[in-house]
Chain A
Amino acid sequence: MSRTLYFGFLFVFLILLQVFVLNNIQFLGYINPYLYIIFVFVYPLKEKRIPFLFASFMLGLGIDFFSDSGGIHAFSILTIAYLRLFFVKVFFRKYPIDYPFFVLNLEPFGKKFNYVVTLTFLHHFILFSFANFSFQNISHVLLNTLFSSIFTLILYFLSIFIFSKKQ
């Protein structure tokens, strides 16, 4: 029960953080972190995925409501939420039987890095392709994906470093 409450709180917190703090950064005019995708990283792995997929979709849609972007955030976060288990299998070699014991922060840093980087780049690429919606400025999309992903990743690893409990 407290776990559900925790993720409910995280859900609202991530929307507010993204909309009122991070969307106003606009570093150099266009580089912007999209930290709300950490919802996909921290949500526990489960066999039954429907609540998780739905929650991710609603998180994206919530951000779309605030940033007038149709459904691009919903589409891109849902894509990585669905592909998450595939990448867990590829990078960590974990199968459904290991899911209850899987904690991302206890995994080796190299594997964790690959996993997070892949999902972040994938998400940002889909997001910026739809936000641009044309092949005209494809270089713009690629540059934006690269720089914004780096920004998001820096923020992610910094926040992990700050908020992780010291052992």
Chain B
Amino acid sequence: MQQLIYFFQRFKYFLFFLLLQFIALILIFNNLNFHKSKFVNSANALSGGLYNQYSNISTYFNLQEVNKALLEENRLLRKQLDQNKYFNFFDDSTMVDSTKYLQKFTYISAKIINNNYARAFNFLTLNKGKNQGLEKEMAVINGKGVIGIIDNTSNNYARVQSILNRNSKLNARLKNSTYFGTLKWDGEDYSIVQLTDIPRQAPIKVGDTIETGGKSTIFPEGILIGTVINKNKQDAVDNAIDVKLFNDMSNVGPVYVIKNFHKEEIKLLENPENE
């Protein structure tokens, strides 16, 4: 016993150091895991609140650019609306069954109050949380394309795992074809992501558009991602293609969060015994 007390007396600083290092290591490993990152994140009341104050001031400086982006998005949406009108005009009769509940997705607007893009595991913080209806595993996009997936929410803030995170994987496909692959990021350049596991027979050309595939319960299909700039760098197993993002991830402001009303139903159908 005497020996033990003497041992603790002698190495108390080292033992304290090891204890704290151990705590830090647990936090690091938990943060790398999508399902376990609970404790240390910027979606808490203190850091979220401070970031919110900070962004209230800093957003004034790029209001002009944000306005321009919103105008461009409105232009695209108006164009799509007009196309629809045109099609309806030529249809002899269109029946819209208004008694059925057909809406599958709903959109919630939010603002990015903290943005990271220079590390290997990047996260963003949004100024809305559980109280505004945001939940884990909801998609985050803006007018130009995908941003990421919500991985943690507090009452008034949410943390988003950016597509610029080495753990991110999302289903993507070539526009106007059904060949699909997995979109990942290798952690090097923040404007370039990699589309992997796409079949070799898929006709890919430099300049082709990549969009979300809709084979997950998170993203609806057809949301833009980027264009192919480089294919088959080396003849690797994963057949990776470089995709340049439409979004400049270092400069993003207002975003939309997508809620899928059918998520529970699809999940229940896909793994029935997993309860």
Contact = CB atoms under 8 A, between A and B. Distances in A.
Interface of A: 19-20, 26, 29-30, 32, 49-50, 53-54, 57, 60-61, 64-72, 74-75, 78-79, 82, 130-134, 136-137, 140
Contacts of A70: 27-32, 37, 40
Interface stretch (B18-26, B65-73, B85-93, B228-236): B18-26
B239 interface: no
B27 A64 contact: yes
Given A57-B20, A57-B23, 13 more contacts: A20-B50, A29-B118, A64-B27, A67-B42, A68-B123, A68-B159, A69-B119, A74-B27, A75-B21, A78-B17, A82-B17, A131-B120, A132-B120
A-B pairs, 6 with minimum CB distance? A70-B31, A71-B27, A71-B24, A68-B123, A75-B24, A70-B28
B190 interface: yes
21 contacts: A20-B54, A50-B13, A53-B13, A54-B16, A57-B20, A61-B40, A65-B46, A66-B51, A68-B159, A69-B40, A70-B32, A70-B37, A71-B40, A72-B28, A75-B24, A75-B25, A79-B21, A130-B28, A134-B166, A134-B187, A136-B186
Given A32-B118, A131-B120, A71 B13 contact: no
A29 B251 CA distance: 12
Contacts of A65: 40-42, 44, 46-47
Contacts of A50: 12-13, 16
Interface residues of B, number: 42
Contacts of B118: 26, 29-30, 32
Contact of B120 (A20, A53, A60, A133): A133
